[in-house]
């Protein structure tokens, strides 16, 4: 009973009519068709009223389907990539680089009213129609979407010869309280003090590729510091994710590393 009432609260909190479509589409995720194309392994984590399903799209683009809420993070690429996925209730953008932010994709995959949450730099680059439904959130700030908290975690380079890629103060990672689970989408970052000091993370997405973010050793060290329950390497083009997993496993913290092919 409490489960269904919490779902109703979520649905009522979401303005767009597409939320009901998205919620209704969730059972389809376990159908053979969806499983073959998008879910090749355990891609769920438990949440308060069910589970959260991770749908990796490509590189840094991902979809999370929680009870009553579908969220896209950094969707780029041809809108057809998203055609079989549940409609987004909310879209997050971490920063302005082309592998994270694309106006045509945002227009192609979202409805007229789909809300966007971005960092301030992306907000200032949005055309008027998208800006009208966007909210900017700066580093270390928090906003609420229904009963979900969205915390903007600083995402930046710390190595001297990489500082120009993601200067401190501009780009976001996000920590979400999603149906009772804590989800960290790191964005493009190194293993900053802010990442290392996170606690209670159930599900994390961490980048690794040089020169833009960090190598697998640095990523593994950062992940061992904040010890999420489950971590997906993403944004890892050309990196040895098996080596990352071996390093995290060797750390002995019981972190589940999920290696998904984000480039198929």
Closest CB to Zn ion among 27 and 238? 238
235 touches Zn ion by CB under 5 A:
no
188 touches Zn ion by CB under 5 A:
yes
d(CA 255, CA 123): 35
97 touches Zn ion by CB under 5 A:
yes
Closest CB to Zn ion among 97 and 260? 97
Question: Smallest distance, Å, CB 249 to Zn ion?
Answer: 28
Omega before 204 cis (within 30°)?
Answer: no
Q: Which two tokens stand for residue 1?
A: 């009973």
- Geometric angle at alpha carbon 55, from 84 and 9, rounded to 5°: 85
What's the 3-state SS for 165-232?
Answer: CCCCCCEEEEEEEECCEEEEECCCCCCCHHHHCCCCCCEEEEECCCCCCCCHHHHHHHHHHHCCCEEE
The region of 42-50, 147-155, 188-196, 216-224 touching Zn ion under the rule CB under 5 A is 188-196
Count CB neighbours of 28 within 10 A. 11
Question: Smallest distance, Å, CB 77 to Zn ion?
Answer: 15
The region of 32-40, 57-65, 187-195, 237-245 touching Zn ion under the rule CB under 5 A is 187-195
Question: Smallest distance, Å, CB 188 to Zn ion?
Answer: 4
Closest CB to Zn ion among 28 and 211? 211
Q: Which residues of this chain interact with Zn ion, rule CB under 5 A? A: 97, 188
């Amino acid at each position: 009973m409490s489960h269904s009432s919490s779902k109703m609260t979520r649905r009522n909190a979401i303005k767009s009519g597409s939320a009901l479509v998205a919620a209704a589409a969730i059972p389809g995720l376990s159908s053979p068709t969806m499983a073959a194309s998008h879910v090749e392994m355990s891609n769920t984590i438990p949440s308060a009223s069910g589970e959260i399903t991770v749908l990796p799209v490509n590189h840094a683009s991902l979809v999370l389907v929680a009870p009553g809420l579908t969220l896209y993070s950094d969707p780029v690429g041809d809108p057809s990539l998203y055609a079989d996925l549940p409609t987004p209730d909310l879209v997050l953008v971490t920063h302005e680089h082309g592998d994270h932010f694309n106006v045509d994709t945002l227009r192609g995959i979202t409805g007229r009213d789909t809300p966007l949450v971005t960092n301030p730099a992306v907000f200032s680059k949005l055309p008027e129609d998208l800006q009208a439904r966007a909210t900017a959130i700066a580093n270390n700030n928090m906003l609420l979407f229904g009963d979900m908290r969205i915390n903007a975690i600083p995402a930046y380079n710390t190595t001297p010869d990489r500082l120009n890629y993601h200067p401190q103060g501009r780009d976001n990672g996000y920590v979400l309280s999603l149906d009772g689970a804590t989800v960290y989408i790191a964005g493009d970052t190194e293993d900053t003090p802010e990442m290392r000091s996170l606690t209670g993370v159930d599900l994390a997405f961490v980048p690794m590729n040089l020169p833009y973010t960090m190598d697998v050793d640095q990523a593994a060290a950062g992940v061992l510091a904040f010890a999420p329950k489950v971590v997906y390497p993403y944004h890892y083009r050309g990196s040895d994710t098996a080596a990352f997993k071996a390093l995290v496993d060797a750390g002995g913290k019981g972190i589940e590393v999920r290696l998904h092919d984000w480039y198929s």
